[in-house]
Amino acid sequence: MYFKPDKPFKKLLAVMTISSLLPVMISCSEEKPPVQDEKELEGSVSISGAFALYPLAVQWTNEFAERNPLVRMDISAGGAGKGMTDVLNGMVDFAMLSRDLHDEEREKGAVDYIVGRDAVLPMVNASNPLIDRILEKGITNDDAYRIWVSREYRTWGQFLGTGEKIPIKVYTRSDACGAAQTFAAWFGSKQDDLGGTAVFGDPGIAKAVSEDPYGIGFNNVAYAFDSQTARPVEGLYILPVDSDKDGKISPEERFYDNKGQLVRAVEADKYPAPPARNLYLISKGVPTDSAKVAFLRYVLGEGQSFNEPSGYVQVSADAKARSLQLLDDATGQGSLKKNTTSGIVTLFIGLVALLFILLIVPAFMKTLTARRVYRQKLSSVVMFILTIASVILVLAMLGGLLAKSLPILRENSLWELLTSSEWKPSARKFGFAPFIMGTIAVTICSIAISLPLSLLTAIYLTEYSRKIVQKVVYPALDILAALPSVIYGVWGILTLIPLFGYSLITASLVLSVMVLPIMISLFVEIFSTVSRDMREASISLGALKWQTTRKVVIRKSLPGIFAATVLALSKCAGETIAVMMVCGSLAQMPTSLSSSFYTLPALIGNNYGEMASIPLYESAIMFSALILMVIVLIFNILSRVILYRIQKNSQ
Amino acid sequence: MKKIKSKYVEEYVMRALMILATLLVLAFVASIIWTIFSKGLKSLSWDLVTKIPGKDWNTAEDGGFLNAILGSLMIVIPAAVIGACVSIPVVFYMTMYKRRTSRMSYIARLAYDILYGIPSIVYGAFAFTIW
C-alpha cells in the first residue's frame, strides 16, 4: 500500500529546496569583499556599547564615512556591558566603554584607547518644592552614599538637615553601565550597591527623574544637557557637587549653567573624578585591519575637534601618544578577522546539497515503482527526523543550559543559590531568592486578577450572551492576543506607571491583561465541550442558568480550568520585556503590592550584556534561565497532559 | 420561598458581574489601543518610516527608523521560511503517517506544545550556549 499523494510531496520538496536555498543566497550576497585596496580605504568598522560615548561616536563615524565612502560603519548603543560582551565575542570591532577596564577583561585581550572624557552628574527634578535650597546646598559624596547605598536619607528634609517630610525617590540604572559604576565609585561603592528604582539607559533615567518631582538620579553630560541649546534638559536641574564639603555651593563650584562651562570645569579637574571619567574605545587585541586602524587614528587625531562642542573633554597628549604607540607596534603583524558566520553558512549549504542529492537520486532509477518507493521512504525518514528533532531540542536546551551553569553550581550549593537573597555579582554572591520570589509573586498576582475576569467573561460569552456581543468581544480578544508583549509594556509605562509607579501591582495588571485572551479562549473551548444534554437536564429540573453553570458546566470543566490556568501561569512566569519595563528591577524580596521587584526573565534580559566581564556572571545568567525553564516545563507538561485528556474525551 | 428568592438574587448578581467583567476586558483593549494611538500618532510621519536615523537621532528629531523596520523584516522572513520548512513536513507526518493517538505523535505533539510554551528569553540564553 503506497502512499498516494506523490505530487504534493514533489511540490513541497521543491518549495523546501528553493526556500532553504534563499537564506544562503541572501547571506552569500552579503559577504563583504575581503580584498583591501591600498589607495582607497575599504572594509567595515562596527561599534557598540556605552550610551555615554554614543553621541560623540556617531559624529566620528559620520565624518569618517564621508571621507571614506567605501568603509561601512555600524554603530549602536546598548550600554558599556553590552559593548564589552560584543567586542570580546568578536561581534563588533570596537566597544565604547565609559568605565575603566576590569582586569578580567584585560586578560581576555581587551585593549583600551582613551578617546575622550566626560562626567556623570547627579540630577534632580526641577519642580521639587525645595529646589532652591537643594541647589544651594549641593551634594557631597557622603550625601550620595546616604541616598543611594545606606538609604539613611529617606526624605529631602534629612538631606537638607531640616524637617520636611518630602520623600526622596531614588533612581538608578538597570543595565550594567559605566555611568552607574563611575557614579558609585565616587562614594566607594559598586553598581550592585546602588538602591532605588532601576530604569534602562541614560534616556530612561532622565525621563524617570523628570517625571517624578521628588526624584533624584544621575546621568552623563551628553544626556544632562540639551544638545540644541547646551542648557540643562528641561524639567531637570543638575545637582551641584560640593567638593570642599562646606555645606554650600561657593561661586567657584558653580559651573553647571551650560555644557561648555562644565566641560571646562572637568578639564581643569574642578569637578571631582570620579564621577568625571575617561571614555574608551576597546578592541580585542590591537587592530591591524587598515580600516579599523585608520578609524582609530582619525578619532585620536582630527576627530577630537568634535569633543568640545558635544560636551566632551579632549584626550590629553600623553594618552594619545600611548594609543598611537600601541597601533604602531602592532602594524606589520598581519591578522585576519575571524568570520564567525562562515561556519554556519557552510553547514547550511552542506545540508541543502545533501537534500538536493537525495532528491536527484530517483532520476537514476529505472522503474517508476522503484522511484516511488524511494521517494516514499525518503520523505518519511526526513519527516521522522524532523518530528524527533522537537524532542531532542527540548533535551538539548536543558543540557546546554545545565552545562553552562555548572561553574556556579560547583562554587555554590544549589540550596544556597535558591534561598540566599544577597545579589552582589561583583562580590561573587549570587542569591536567586529575590528573583524567584518576584517571579512567583507577579505570577500569582496576575492570575488572581485574570482568572475571575476571564472565567466570568467566558461564561458570559458561552452561556448568556447574544451573537452580537460575541461578534464584538471575539475580535477584541483577537487584537489583544496578536499584540506583541512589548506593546503591553509600553501601555504599562504610559498608563499604569503614572498611577502605581514601578511596582508589583503594575506588572501584575500588565500581565493579567496579556494572558486574558489565552485564558478566555481556552475557557470558551473547554465550556463548549460540556454537552448540551447535561445543561438541558439541569434546566428541566428547575435550575436557573447560573445554577446550571456553577453546578454542571464549571464542575464538569474543572480539570480544564485548572490546566488553562497553569498554562497562563507559565506564560506569566516567562514573560520578559513587558515585566522588565515596569518592574523597577530592584533585587529585593517583594514585600508589598507597591514595591519594586525583579523576575528571572528580567534578570536575564537586563544583564546578558555584562556576561563576559564579570567571572561567573554568565554562569549565573544561564542558571537563572535553567530555573525558569524547569519551572515552565513542569507547568506546561502538567497542563498539556490534562488538556489532551479533555480533548480526547470530548471527541 | 426564601430559597427561590436567593437563587434569583444570585442569578442577577452573577449576571451583573459577568457583564462587568466583559466590559472591563473591552475597556482594557480600548485603553491599550487608545494609549498607543494617542501618544504615537502625533509623532508618526512619513519620514519616520522611510528614513534611517540621522546624526542626532537620540537628542533631536532627525531621521526615522527604517533600519529597525527592515531589520525586523530580515529577521522575521527567514525565520518564518525556516520554520515552515520544518513544520509543514512534521504536520504531514503526524496527520498522514501516524494516527493522532499513537504514542510517537503524542510525544511529538507534547514536545512542540512545550517548545511553544518555553519563554523566549530561555531561547535567547540557549543561543548563548551554542556559541
Q: What is the pLDDT of residues A133-162, one digit of tens each?
A: 888 888 888 888 888 888 888 888 888 888
Q: Where are the beta strands (DSSP E) in A65-220?
A: 71-77, 94-97, 110-125, 169-173, 197-199, 215-220
E strand or H helix at A280: strand A276-284
Counted across chains A and B, CB pairs separated by less than 8 A come out at 222
Nearest alpha carbon to residue B20 among A230, A296, B28, A372: B28
The mean of the pLDDT values for chain B is 81
Q: What is the pLDDT of residues A35-51, one digit of tens each?
A: 444 456 777 888 888 87
Chain B residues within an 8 Å CB radius of A452: 21
Evaluate if residue A506 carries a pLDDT over 80: yes
Q: Which residue does chain A place closest to B5, by CA atoms?
A: A544
Cell of A342: 562562515
Min Cα–Cα distance to chain A from B48, Å:
18
Q: Which residue does chain A place closest to B68, by CA atoms?
A: A76
Min Cα–Cα distance to chain B from A180, Å:
20
Least confident of A197-201, A296-300, A379-383: A379-383
Give the A window 153-212 contacts with B, CB below 8 Å: 203
Name the pLDDT band for A32 (thresholds 50, 70, 90): very low
Nearest alpha carbon to residue A242 among A377, A122, A116: A122
For residue A274, say if its preceding peptide bond is cis, omega within 30 degrees of 0. Answer: yes
Chain B residues within an 8 Å CB radius of A625: 121-122, 125-126
Evaluate if residue A630 carries a pLDDT over 50: yes
Q: Which of A110-124, A485-499, A576-590 has the highest mean pLDDT?
A: A485-499
Least confident of A45-54, A440-449, A491-500: A45-54
What mean pLDDT is predicted for residues A229-247? 80
Query: Is A513 within 8 Å of B28 when comparing Cβ atoms?
Result: yes
Min Cα–Cα distance to chain B from A448, Å:
14
Q: Which residue does chain A place closest to B10, by CA atoms?
A: A546
E strand or H helix at A415: helix A414-419
> ipTM, 2 decimals?
0.86
Query: Is B121 within 8 Å of A628 when comparing Cβ atoms?
Result: yes
Name the pLDDT band for A439 (thresholds 50, 70, 90): very high
Cell of A229: 541649546
Chain A residues within an 8 Å CB radius of B123: 397
Q: What is the pLDDT of residues A83-96, one digit of tens each?
A: 888 888 777 888 88
Calculate the alpha carbon distances from A565 to A4, A435, A455, A595, A642 in Å. 43, 22, 10, 25, 12
- Give the model's pLDDT for residue A449: 93
Evaluate if residue B77 carries a pLDDT over 90: yes
Query: Is A460 within 8 Å of B59 when comparing Cβ atoms?
Result: no
- Give the model's pLDDT for residue A7: 45
Q: What is the pLDDT of residues A342-371, one digit of tens each?
A: 667 788 888 888 878 877 777 777 777 887
Cell of A633: 516545563
Evaluate if residue B16 carries a pLDDT over 50: yes
Query: Is A473 within 8 Å of B26 when comparing Cβ atoms?
Result: yes
A456, A541, A577, A638: best to mutate for the B interface, most B CBs within 10 A = A456
Count the alpha carbons within 13 Å of A273 in the hemisphere toward its beta carbon.
17
Q: Which of A16-25, A444-453, B39-48, B65-74 has the highest mean pLDDT?
A: A444-453
The mean of the pLDDT values for chain A is 80
Name the pLDDT band for B99 (thresholds 50, 70, 90): low
How far from the centroid of its chain's Cα atoms is residue B124's Cα? Answer: 17
- Give the model's pLDDT for residue A452: 93
Calculate the alpha carbon distances from A520 to A216, A451, A584 in Å. 42, 9, 29
pLDDT top residue among A536 and A28: A536
- A1 — contact with chain B (CB < 8 Å)? no
